[in-house]
Amino acid sequence: NLQDKLDRAFKVLKGQGSITEINVAETMKEIRKALLDADVNYKTAKTFTDDVKLKALGENVLTSISPGQLLTKIMNDELTSLMGGTVTDLETSKNPTVILIAGLNGAGKTTFSGKLANYLREKKGKKPLLVAGDVYRPAAVDQLQVLGEQVQVPVYVNRESTDPIAIAKEGVDEAKRNGHNVVIIDTAGRLAIDEALMKEITAVKDATQPHEILFVVDAMTGQDAVNTAKTFNDRLDFTGVVLTKLDGDTRGGAALSIKSVVNKPIKFIGTGEKMEALDVFYPDRMASRILGMGDVVSLVERAQQQFDERQAAELQKKIRKNKFDFNDFKTQIQQIKKMGNMKDLMGMIPGVGKAIKDVEIDDNAFKPIEAIIDSMTPFERENPDAIDTKRRMRIAKGSGTDVNEVNKLMKQFADMRKVMKQMSNPGMAAKMMRNMP
Ligand code: GDP
Ligand code: MG
């Protein structure tokens, strides 16, 4: 009804619940920069900011929380869903479940193998077996044996052999013989991707038929991590990603890029060298982490504030002087109507239409109000107090409405001015804000 429309006009006027195209575009540009700084690749950052922009504009009038918060929430949700939405569990139901570990040298495969064995034994009550499949460096076998001892998980080793495929198979047989329900096969990496490595790891895969193939990658390598992930996935079709070295303030942007480029779930993150430094990957937590990086949140708020302040300051001045008039009122109505057009536009985007279908912006509802304002003289528009009974009757006639409707509008306008005057008093405004939903 009309009261709702006026309420909404009032909210828009106060800069609440409105995110305009200008400030969203500006803000998104800044956010895109921040994401690129956080190692998110360009295409992902662009797609992300475009999506957020559409959603932000779509939610224009849906809510009365502050636009900065709204935008941050939209971004958080969008990031979370980009990274898979929810936790993707590790398959461990087979007997034995075979887990193959793959990745470049120094990515953290051996360390992760130890951590995973520890996690499955301690947290999941499993009985794992580690398999030392890195045959090229004797030190690699020693490293895994030390870790195995540390986490109290046996390690299958065959120092006579230099055939990683045979060793992996032997390891699985050994697990079956000794009642291990999980087999974790650590493998050799290379300094960079080469054909021999890809052939070897593919052969190990074919020979052991793993239920999980986890690709381990160093989060600190940024853009390289994404390219490596893509190459490994094309050859191995892995089942999940492990992001290592996310301790301290390593930026989490790689998580977003990898997920969007290879479309495989990130299952674990490594957060340190110790065997306990392993976390299940939670998309929502990583979203907060990425948003926290480069201070994106405060960036949004600052951009938002500057815009709102400029717009609000002008109106505040008028309101304080009690100069808010019918010209301003008409501008506000036009602004609301523009949102109506926006709604139609947004409605054509799949998924968005449904979200905003309950927001009613009915142009016709404003017709009588606009007609009444149009029938006022410029003097009357600027001096609402001067509109007496005689003038009201003339306005009613000119606008094709009746004097009751004019009176009603005059009353609502007066009420609105009164509330606005109160709101322009800082103490009062704060009090009213607190009472808002
Ligand atoms: P691999 O060659 O892929 O087997 O890599 P390693 O497991 O040997 O790890 C290489 C180096 O990275 C070692 O010094 C590890 O201690 C270190 N490392 C592995 N994971 C992490 C992690 O999550 N955080 C930190 N800070 N260091 C790690
Ligand atoms: Mg290793």
Angle between the N-to-C axes of helices 223-236 and 253-262, in degrees from 0 to 180, rounded to the nearest 10: 30
More confident residue, 344 or 203: 203
Strand ranges (DSSP E) for 257-392? 266-270, 278-280
The total domain count for the chain is 2
Co-location of 197 and 311 in the same domain: no
Is the same domain home to 308 and 244? Answer: no
pLDDT at residue 433, as a whole number:
46
Q: Residue 178 in contact with residue 130, Cβ under 8 Å?
A: no
Average model confidence (pLDDT) for the chain?
Answer: 79
Q: Which residues pair with 139 in a beta bridge?
A: none
The response to whether residue 274 sits with its C-beta less than 6 Å from ligand 1 reads no
Reply yes or no on whether the pLDDT at 414 is more than 70.
Answer: yes
**Does ligand 1 come within 6 angstroms of the Cβ of 244?**
yes
Q: Is the CB of 115 under 6 A from ligand 1?
A: no
- Whether 103 lines ligand 1, by a CB cut-off of 6 Å, is yes
Residue 307 or 111, more confident: 111
Residues 255, 327: one domain?
A: no
pLDDT value of residue 422: 66
Residue 347, pLDDT score:
43
Question: How many angstroms separate the CA atoms of 53 and 342, rounded?
Answer: 13
357 is in an annotated binding site: no
Separation of CA 144 and ligand 1 centre (Å): 12
Residue 331 assigned to a binding site = no
| 188 among annotated binding-site residues | yes
109 and 151 part of one domain: yes
Nearest atom, ligand 1, residue 244 CA: 23
- Kindly indicate the confidence band of residue 190, based on its pLDDT and cuts at 50, 70 and 90: confident
pTM: 0.64
Q: Containing H/E element for 128? A: strand 128-133
What is the domain range of residue 338?
A: 2-80+295-434
- 8 A C-beta contact, residue 65 and residue 18: no
pLDDT in tens, 10-27: 344 344 444 565 566 766
Residue 33: per-residue pLDDT:
74
Q: Is the CB of 106 under 6 A from ligand 1?
A: yes
Q: Are residues 221 and 276 in the same domain?
A: yes
pLDDT of residue 345: 42
SS3 assignment for 197-221: HHHHHHHHHHHHCCCEEEEEEEHHH
Q: What is the CATH number of the domain that holds 7?
A: 1.10.260.30
Confidence of residue 349 (pLDDT cuts 50, 70, 90): very low
Centroid of ligand 2 to alpha carbon of 253 (angstroms): 25
Flag whether 111 is in a domain: yes
Determine, yes or no, domain membership for 75: yes
The ipTM (two decimal places) reads 0.99
Looking at the CA of residue 103, tell me the nearest atom of ligand 1.
3
